[in-house]
Amino acid sequence: MIVGGLDIGSATGKAVVIKDGNVVGASVLCSTARPVETADLVMNEAIRQAGLSSIDHLDKVVCTGYGRLSIPFAEENLSEISCHARGAHWLVPSIRTVVDIGGQDCKVISVSEKGTVLDFKMNDRCAAGTGRFFEAMARALCCGLDGISSLDNQGDEPCTISNQCSVFAESEVVTLVNEGIDLANIIAGINLSVASRLSSMARRVGIVNEVTLTGGCSKNEGLAQALAKKLGIELRQLPQDPQIAGALGAAIFAGERLEASDDGTS
């Protein structure tokens, strides 16, 4: 059995191919202006990695993410919340809390021992705490996303970033730079402000170990460090790219749906 999972986000497209229970192809590409084009590009790359010649070799494809309703070759679409929970849990079955930080929203998901969603909190009304927020901060500091992420750039005295709105926060950061505040302390303050918001969401859901990060912003080492301190726990690292967790979950669901269909239970 060969199945595919897609996660078409606002910033990146992700695709995973699973063959007989093993990930044989995975790809992450920047999103284009058209979700269908993004899906074609990223899935074709995952298929190539899997050693397949075309999407026709996939028995089923499930899609999640911002553009999930626009993909004609996906037989089913599911929520990002369910897919990130399932993908993270499949990689590490002891995971009970998933913090997903994407390009335009962030979520905290409580996960059962079977990988199903028990509860969640989500911010999708503004850019605060998302990839777009970090892009704005990197633009204000002229340091790139890697500059904000690097542990070497985290100061010991984080500045207070009081504005959660990315527009006002960007202006606030520019003011701090003009005042001659140490860049490392500004960067640490940016990550701490997002970590504070995420920890507040997590406490409303209920923090249960083990906790992991998914989504593109999970690769921000400064943010991960700040969040671990705010929560008072050690975050669990996933053994594969945390950015593909949603696409992986979609592929896992595709396999489960196919097996259920073959068994005549759906």
Domain spans in the chain, listed from the N-terminal domain onward: 1-92+238-266, 94-237
**Best CA proximity match to 39, nearest among 17, 14, 3:** 14
Q: Which of 128-132, 138-142, 179-183, 237-241 has the lowest mean pLDDT?
A: 128-132
What secondary structure letter does DSSP report for 180? T
pLDDT of residue 185: 96
- Fold entry, domain 1-92+238-266: Nucleotidyltransferase; domain 5 (3.30.420)
What is d(CA 6, CA 64) in angstroms, rounded to the nearest whole number? 6
Q: How many degrees, rounded to 5, is the angle at CA 172 between CA 166 and CA 177?
A: 125
pLDDT of residue 266: 53
**Best CA proximity match to 26, nearest among 44, 38, 8:** 44
Residues 191-215: tens digit of each pLDDT: 999 999 999 999 999 999 999 999 9
What is d(CA 149, CA 141) in angstroms, rounded to the nearest whole number? 13
What is d(CA 16, CA 7) in angstroms, rounded to the nearest whole number? 9
What is d(CA 161, CA 173) in angstroms, rounded to the nearest whole number? 8
Asked whether 186 and 255 are in contact (CB, 8 A), the reply is no
Asked whether 106 and 196 are in contact (CB, 8 A), the reply is no
pLDDT of residue 125: 66
Q: Which of 103-107, 152-156, 248-252 has the lowest mean pLDDT?
A: 103-107
Residues 12-61: tens digit of each pLDDT: 999 999 999 999 999 999 999 999 999 999 999 999 999 999 999 999 99
Q: 3.30.470.20, 3.40.50.12780, 3.30.420.40, 3.40.250.10: which CATH number matches 94-237?
A: 3.30.420.40
